Amino acid sequence: MRKVIIIGYMGSGKSTIARLLSEKMQVKALDLDQIIENHTGVAIKNIFEAEGEIYFRKLESKIFREIMDSDESFILSLGGGTPCYANNHELLNAGGAVSFYLKCSIETLYQRLHLAKEGRPLIAAKDEGQLKEFIAKSLFDRSFYYNQASYAISADGRSADEIVADIWERLA
Ligand code: S3P
């Protein structure tokens, strides 16, 4: 059984890396945001709007814990905030799980996210100046949790294939 967890800020490439790694390792890829949406039948941004962030964080933690309890092998990409709430970070290396933090600079995240705010409730309404400030502040607040991962992988200026190769080597 192999449990690999991919974490990082919004826009760091978690889902893409999990999918590519899953093809290489022949282990199924799971995406926590997607599982929450399938489970509720509601888009994440609508859960935030209708129920608020605290409701979402509780649901996110519950579903994350259920997935981690299973005996199956998987590569799981988390939401950007998942490790930072409800002591979820304690599961990042528990029970043989290995976790990877895709580490990106504020500038890289800003460049990606200002084109992809839609569907991301925490940033959708922010203008460019507010977005940069928000990324800088929340990355600072969240770094403690992200750094609980087994490995931090530099993701700035590297192709997805290079990042996957880096993760692959550390899993060998
Ligand atoms: C969030 C990130 C999102 C999603 C939700 C909250 C966050 O996932 O879980 O909008 O707190 O950073 P992605 O990192 O996949 O965008």
pLDDT in tens, 25-59: 999 999 999 999 999 999 999 999 999 999 999 99
Give 24 Cα–ligand 1 centroid separation in angstroms.
25
Residue 122 CA, closest ligand 1 atom number: 10
Does ligand 1 lie within 6 Å of residue 155's CB atom? no
Give 79 Cα–ligand 1 centroid separation in angstroms.
4
Question: Global pTM?
Answer: 0.98
* Residues β-bridged to residue 4: 75, 98
**Residue 163 in tokens:** 């990042």
* Residues β-bridged to residue 131: none
Residue 8 CA, closest ligand 1 atom number: 14
Total residues found in the chain within this entry: 172
Does ligand 1 lie within 6 Å of residue 10's CB atom? yes
**Residue 88 in tokens:** 């979820």
**Residue 112 in tokens:** 């990606």
Does ligand 1 lie within 6 Å of residue 8's CB atom? no
Does ligand 1 lie within 6 Å of residue 149's CB atom? no
State the average pLDDT for the chain: 97
Rounded Cα distance, 39 and 12, in Å: 24
Residue 92: how many other CB atoms lie within 10 Å: 22
**Residue 63 in tokens:** 């579903």
pLDDT of 104 > 90? The answer is yes
Q: Which of 164, 14, 1 is nearest to 83 (CA)?
A: 14
Give the containing element (helix H, strand E) for 148. none
